[in-house]
Amino acid sequence: MLFLDMIDIALFSAYGLVIVGALLAVGFPIYLSSKNPASLKESAMAFAGLLIMFLVGYLISGNEVLPTYIEFGVDAGLSKFIGGMIILVYLLAGVAIGGIIYSEFSKTFKNG
């Protein structure tokens, strides 16, 4: 029984540490941003850009539901949301690849 009690203590300690880590991961950047309000404006603009990209993905996604998805509780609204999220991932991947290509070309022509 002592071994099982030690496992319980370790698990609850790990849960507590994960919660503390999550709170610090969220709270510390907010604390640092409060000292520099200009960075909050940049973060808000980036968040607004993500919302706009999701809105575009949501608006062009379909709401089709195949019979096999109904058994998992997927309805038309959830299907449209999932489609919007998938399109958002495609858009973000395109932006990332475009940024990589742009940076490589700009380094090549800047140094060349």
Q: Are 86 and 58 in contact (CB under 8 A)?
A: no
pLDDT digits (tens, 9 = 90+) for 64-90: 888 888 888 889 999 999 999 999 999
pTM over 0.85? The answer is no
Please state the domain extents for the chain: 1-35, 37-112
By C-alpha distance, which of 62, 60, 39, 58 is closest to 50? 58
Residue with tokens 């022509």: 109
pLDDT digits (tens, 9 = 90+) for 11-54: 999 999 999 999 999 999 888 888 887 778 888 898 899 999 99
